Amino acid sequence: MPQPARETLSADDIIIATGSQPVMPTIPGSDLPGVITSDGAFLLPEVPARAVVVGGSAVGAEWASLFRTFGAEVTLVEMMPTLLPAEDTEIGRALTRSFTKRGIKVLTRHTVTAVEGEDEGHGGLRALVADADGEPVESLSADIVLFGVGRRPNTAGLDLEKAGVHTDDRGYLPVTDRLRTNVPHISAIGDVTGGIQLAHVASHQGLVAAAVVSGHDERIDYRAVPAATFTHPEVASVGLTEAQARETGHEITAARFPFAALGRAHAYGATDGMVKVVADRSSGAVLGAHIIGPGASDLIAEAALAVTHGVTLKGLVDTIHAHPTLGEATMEAAMGALGLPLHTAPVRRRR
């Protein structure tokens, strides 16, 4: 087969944006038909009747939620104590409760150690599950087993070494806060940099890199990156979790406000979930916010602005929020953190 024609391009600056791809773990049976990653899920010709999803972070949780929405019998297996382990633990526990109510079987502190073909011979699979001690506990029947447990950078074949561009031991491209690699005039953005692998982060990196190439002194700041997980219910967060805030030496105050107390949520018929705010006790500065519930991915923008610009709890409370809206939950949570709740019982202020 003839090779495609190659073309040599010259430029003053090069920006590498080759992204990443899902990783398939090397366990017995990972090469069987029906064992897929998130990329393979997009190619499924129909909704599987039975799905085992391995990995309870954003990718796995989103696919588990989607499969269940379309009627599949779903089991979600996560090795950590809660789903969405990068999120505040209260959010992970709340998502587990919501998934369980929807009929998704959630197995935390478990792993899939192997996949086998079913004995009946009609194309089914069995996922072998072990507990936190590695002891076999269950065999799950499935039509597909989806692994959402990691990614690797698309740097193979780029011949980066010929240009002197350094990669780390996983193949990612370390960059400065101006998105420069170790080689002048070669930059990198997106998943290939090995940082926060979110589409909106890659887009913002692109803006910064383009500005730097154009001669501006722009720099990337990752202190207030919002994350959104498009499950049902949605999850979104920004800044520090309660545990992270304590670990970094903050004396904090934290409070939450349930969507069940909002008229707008009742009008939507979606009252599960809450908004949680975490703030520094002495200054009142908002350190983080964590949301599970309707519109979480939209509501997080206000909190991201607060964390980015050092807005205090009082600043959120003093900002008039339209009524009836879901956004009132952020203001109400801030009031609770100040010990001034309007529509819920006073929240014990954590020390």
pLDDT the model gives residue 118: 80
C-alpha 53: how far from chain center = 16
Place of tokens 């400065």: 176
- Domain shared by 136 and 25, yes or no: yes
pLDDT the model gives residue 137: 93
| C-alpha distance from residue 61 to each of 173, 246, 321 (Å) | 28, 27, 32
Residue 132 above 60 pLDDT?
yes
Domain with residue 286: its CATH number is: 3.30.390.30
- Domain shared by 178 and 206, yes or no: yes
Residue 225 above 90 pLDDT?
yes
Residue 14 lies in a domain: no
Model confidence over 3-55: pLDDT tens digits?
Answer: 777 888 899 999 999 999 999 999 999 999 999 999 999 999 999 999 999 99
Domain with residue 53: its CATH number is: 3.50.50.60
Tokens of 39: 């990329």
Residue 206 lies in a domain: yes
Residue 244 lies in a domain: yes
Q: Residue 2's pLDDT band (boundaries 50, 70, 90)?
A: confident
- Domain shared by 120 and 185, yes or no: no
- Domain shared by 36 and 139, yes or no: yes
Residue 351 above 70 pLDDT?
no
Residue 12 lies in a domain: no
Catalytic residues: 323
- Domain shared by 207 and 237, yes or no: no
Residue 283 lies in a domain: yes
Angle at 203 between CA 181 and CA 173, to 5 degrees: 25
Residue 219 lies in a domain: no
DSSP summary character for residue 229? E
Q: Please identify, among 122, 147, 172, the residue that sits at the C-terminal boundary of a domain.
A: 147
- Domain shared by 25 and 126, yes or no: yes
How far apart CA 263 and CA 254 sit, in angstroms, is 23
- Domain shared by 26 and 142, yes or no: yes
pLDDT the model gives residue 1: 63
Longest dimension (CA), the chain: 73
pLDDT the model gives residue 196: 93
- Domain shared by 161 and 143, yes or no: no
| C-alpha distance from residue 118 to each of 29, 125, 128, 241, 289 (Å) | 12, 5, 11, 42, 45
DSSP summary character for residue 222? -
Model confidence over 227-259: pLDDT tens digits?
Answer: 999 999 999 999 999 999 999 999 999 999 999
Residue in 232, 299, 312 with CA at minimum distance from that of residue 264:
299
- Domain shared by 171 and 195, yes or no: yes
Q: Please identify, among 147, 173, 201, the residue that sits at the C-terminal boundary of a domain.
A: 147
Residue 67 lies in a domain: yes
Note the helical H segments in 156-287. Answer: 160-163, 199-213, 242-247, 263-268
pLDDT the model gives residue 119: 66
CA atoms within 13 A on the CB side of 163: 19
Q: Count other C-beta atoms under 10 Å from residue 43's C-beta.
A: 7
Model confidence over 171-220: pLDDT tens digits?
Answer: 999 999 999 999 999 999 999 999 999 999 999 999 999 999 999 999 99
Q: Please identify, among 121, 147, 173, the residue that sits at the C-terminal boundary of a domain.
A: 147
DSSP E strands, 110-216: 110-117, 125-131, 136-142, 144-147, 151-153, 186-188
pLDDT the model gives residue 344: 65
- Estimate the share of the chain in helix, then strand, then coil, as percent rounded to the nearest 5: 25, 25, 50
Residue 3 lies in a domain: no
Q: Residue 120's pLDDT band (boundaries 50, 70, 90)?
A: low
Number of structural domains the chain divides into: 3
- Domain shared by 283 and 236, yes or no: yes
- Domain shared by 250 and 171, yes or no: no
- Domain shared by 143 and 159, yes or no: no
Domain that holds residue 187: 155-213
Sort 331 into a burial class: Cβ within 10 Å, 0-12 / 13-18 / 19+: buried
How far apart CA 296 and CA 309 sit, in angstroms, is 20
Residue 329 above 70 pLDDT?
yes
